[in-house]
């Protein structure tokens, strides 16, 4: 059976030769994203900055645009309305504002605006303190995930591989966070999940390429390091692009046909897939040139064979 190859196995693309330009581009993009995060900040959802959440069932299919205008006129901050399940079922999120006159009064104002015949499945209030704790937990989750991946790569390979992998992951996470800062996208709990999923996908892709580099380090002991990395990247390029393409098609289907709730979750994952594939090929591996990674010699192999015999 013939295998599918988007890119031929015998390609000889000079990826390392273009690495300086691509690394410079990556540094510029990351700098823009970090600047946007510092200056504009993230557009936090109600989960982080506090507000009211209503899960309701309307007596008939509502006019979402008209309902959003009515709730927006209550002076309770930003309004988010999402349909899920049946068309009559809504998830309504409203932010807190200084115009509110207490929790009970604000909830009653929303109920009066929705009218009669509405079934309330869930009514919750998210306080600012809980929101700030969620922000701290989200930052810790991303930081601990990156630290755990650094330890894993350093143990499985060498410490130089770990540094290159984490540099690529920081690039990926910075761009995704920057996307939420530059564009008017709401940053919610699902966005944190999308960031962690992107990091997991990117590190898996990077490990596959690092495995091939390590194999070739043992196989070609006298080959120039730049040529060896180039060959390793070209040998895994078909697998990398095929995996990224098939995954991207699946996420694209969720984005187009999954509704607003799923689309908000799928968009950062799609961006993360593209950015993660780019960093695995053009950042993590070429960076090994600038670190003194250990080259395998015949003496190392002989010592290893003696150790196995004894």
What confidence score (pLDDT) does residue 240 get? Answer: 86
Which residue is associated with the tokens 């013939």?
2
Domains for the chain: give ranges and CATH numbers.
16-43+130-298 (1.20.1640.10), 51-126 (3.30.70.3400)
Asked if 248 and 273 count as a contact pair (C-beta separation under 8 A), the reply is yes
The structure's pTM equals 0.74
| Number of alpha carbons in the 13 Å side-chain half-sphere of residue 219 | 10
Q: Which two tokens stand for residue 273?
A: 């897939």
Tokens standing for residue 109:
């104002």
The secondary structure of residue 282, as a DSSP letter, is: I
Place of tokens 């809980």: 130
Residue-level pLDDT at 295: 67
Rounded distance between C-alpha atoms, residue 120 and residue 139, angstroms: 33
What would the two tokens of residue 46 be? Answer: 């109600």
What CA–CA distance (Å, rounded) separates 100 from 84?
28
What are the residue ranges in the chain where pLDDT is below 50? 1, 98-100, 299-308, 310
Residues 6+ away with beta carbon under 8 Å from 175: 29, 30, 33, 271, 275
Could you tell me if 284 and 167 are in contact, meaning their C-beta atoms sit under 8 angstroms apart?
A: yes
DSSP 294: P
Q: What is the pLDDT of residue 100?
A: 45
């Amino acid at each position: 059976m013939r295998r599918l190859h988007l890119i031929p196995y015998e390609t000889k693309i000079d990826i390392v030769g273009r690495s300086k330009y691509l690394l410079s581009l990556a540094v510029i993009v990351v700098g823009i994203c970090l600047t946007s995060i510092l200056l504009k900040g993230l557009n936090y959802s109600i989960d982080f900055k506090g507000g009211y959440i209503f899960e309701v069932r309307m007596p008939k299919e509502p006019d979402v645009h008209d309902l959003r205008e009515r709730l927006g006129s209550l002076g309770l901050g930003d309004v988010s309305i999402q349909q899920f399940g049946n068309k009559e079922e809504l998830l309504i999120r409203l932010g807190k504002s200084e115009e509110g006159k207490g929790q009970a009064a604000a909830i009653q104002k929303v109920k009066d605006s929705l009218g009669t015949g509405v079934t309330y499945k869930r009514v919750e209030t998210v306080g600012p303190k809980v929101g700030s704790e969620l922000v701290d937990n989200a930052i810790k989750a991303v930081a601990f995930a990156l630290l755990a991946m650094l330890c894993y790569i350093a143990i499985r390979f060498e410490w130089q591989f770990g540094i290159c992998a984490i540099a690529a992951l920081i690039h990926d996470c910075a761009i995704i966070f920057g996307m939420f800062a530059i564009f008017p996208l709401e940053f919610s709990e699902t966005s944190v999940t999308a960031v962690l999923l992107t990091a997991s996908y990117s590190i898996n892709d990077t490990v596959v390429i690092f495995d091939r580099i390590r194999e070739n380090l043992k196989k070609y002991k006298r080959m120039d390091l730049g040529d060896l990395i180039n060959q390793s990247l070209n040998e895994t390029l078909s697998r990398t692009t095929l995996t990224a393409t098939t995954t991207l098609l699946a996420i694209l289907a969720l984005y187009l046909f999954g509704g607003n709730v799923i689309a908000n979750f799928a968009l950062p994952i799609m961006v993360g897939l593209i950015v993660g594939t780019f960093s695995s090929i053009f950042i993590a591996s070429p960076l090994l040139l600038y670190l003194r990674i250990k080259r395998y010699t015949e003496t190392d192999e002989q010592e290893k064979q003696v150790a196995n015999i004894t």
